[in-house]
Amino acid sequence: MTRELNWPVIRLLMIKDWQLFQKQLAAHLLGGIVALAFLGMAKPWAFYIGSLLLIILLVAVACFAVSTSLLVERKEQTLAFVMSLPVSPLDFTVAKLAGNLLTFLVPFLVMALFTAIIIFSTPLPDGLVVLAALVFGHVLVAYCISLAVAMQVESEGWNLFAMIGSMVLINPFLMLIGQMDSVQSVLRGNAVIWPAPALAILGAQALIGLACLAFALWSNGRKPAFY
């Protein structure tokens, strides 16, 4: 069985997913600007509203990226149309993973970049960038888990559980960070210091995220056929 990837079609399917996500992407970026504007005001109340809005937007981007590309396609029966095109299950898996990562990572990285810029260019303590990295890292992991589950499981219930479950874990995660004195001590400072626990968490987030994506690729790509 050939394992050569059909890159021209994979690229077209990625572009297709990007085009389907464009309107939502614009709305998310608009919301991101509003959230960052609040953060940039560097007032305690504005920081609270801005950070909350930013987290909501990140969660929304992650959920909508997975939902639009996989769950909605399945529900609206457009997947059969895509699978009838000259693609193998491996091509399809690569296209779905890459297309989904593209639609998620573009707004995610834009928001991450501008969050860092806001932190460094306003009176907010520069140490907050550590907290921002941990929060963005958590959303990235939750997204990878949701994507892997959506690639693997057709049940809408399990997919919603994976999405909501992984995303709401941000609350206990923030509480956990709040208990870490070594992390808390650097957040209010004007120097960017990366304490060992924060680096360990970021490393674990990267590993979990990559493991989820690798599993989704391996599990779906080795199938000889779609059904």
Partner 1 sequence: MTAAFVLQGVSKHYPQFSLSDFSLTLPEGQIMGLVGVNGAGKSTLLRLLTGLAAPSSGDIEVLGHRLPEAQVAAKRKIGFAAEDMRLYRGQTLAWHIELVRRIYPEWDSAYAASLLRRFDLRADQSVGGFSHGQRVKALLLLCLARRPQLLLLDEPTTGLDPVARAEVLESLAEVLRDEHRSVLFSSHNTHDVEQLSDSISFMHQGRLLASADKERFLDEWRRVLCVGDVPDALDAWPELVQRRAAGSQIELKFRRWQDDLPERLAQVGLSVQRIDPMTLEDIFVTTVRAGGRQ
**Max Cα-Cα span within the chain:** 61
Other CB atoms within 10 A of residue 121 CB:
10
Is residue 78 a contact point for partner 1 (CB under 8 A)?
Answer: yes
Is residue 171 a contact point for partner 1 (CB under 8 A)?
Answer: no
Is residue 18 a contact point for partner 1 (CB under 8 A)?
Answer: no
The span of 16-24, 109-117, 181-189, 211-219 binding partner 1 (CB under 8 A) equals 16-24
190 with 126: CB under 8 angstroms? yes
Is residue 1 a contact point for partner 1 (CB under 8 A)?
Answer: yes
Is residue 12 a contact point for partner 1 (CB under 8 A)?
Answer: yes
Residue with tokens 């994506």: 213
Segment 19 to 58, residues that bind partner 1, using CB under 8 A: 19-20
The residues near 118 (Cβ < 8 Å, ≥ 6 apart) are 36, 39, 40, 124
| Chosen residue from 30, 80, 200, 207 binding partner 1 by CB under 8 A | 80
d(CA 157, CA 163): 10
Is residue 181 a contact point for partner 1 (CB under 8 A)?
Answer: no
Residues 140-159: b if buried by 16+ CB within 10 A, e if exposed: bbbbbbbbbbbbeeeeeeeb
The span of 82-90, 137-145, 169-177, 190-198 binding partner 1 (CB under 8 A) equals 82-90
Is residue 172 a contact point for partner 1 (CB under 8 A)?
Answer: no
Residues in the chain: 227
Is residue 17 a contact point for partner 1 (CB under 8 A)?
Answer: no
Which residue type, as a one-letter code, is found at position 115?
T
Residue 155: left (phi > 0), alpha (psi -120 to 50), or beta?
Answer: beta
d(CA 25, CA 19): 10
| Chosen residue from 76, 123, 179, 196 binding partner 1 by CB under 8 A | 76
The span of 77-85, 97-105, 148-156, 167-175 binding partner 1 (CB under 8 A) equals 77-85
| Chosen residue from 84, 172, 188, 196 binding partner 1 by CB under 8 A | 84
**DSSP structure class, residue 123:** S
Is residue 105 a contact point for partner 1 (CB under 8 A)?
Answer: no
Is residue 155 a contact point for partner 1 (CB under 8 A)?
Answer: no
Residues of the shown chain interacting with partner 1 in the complex, contacts defined by CB under 8 A? 1-2, 6, 8-9, 12, 16, 19-20, 76-78, 80-81, 83-88, 91, 224-227
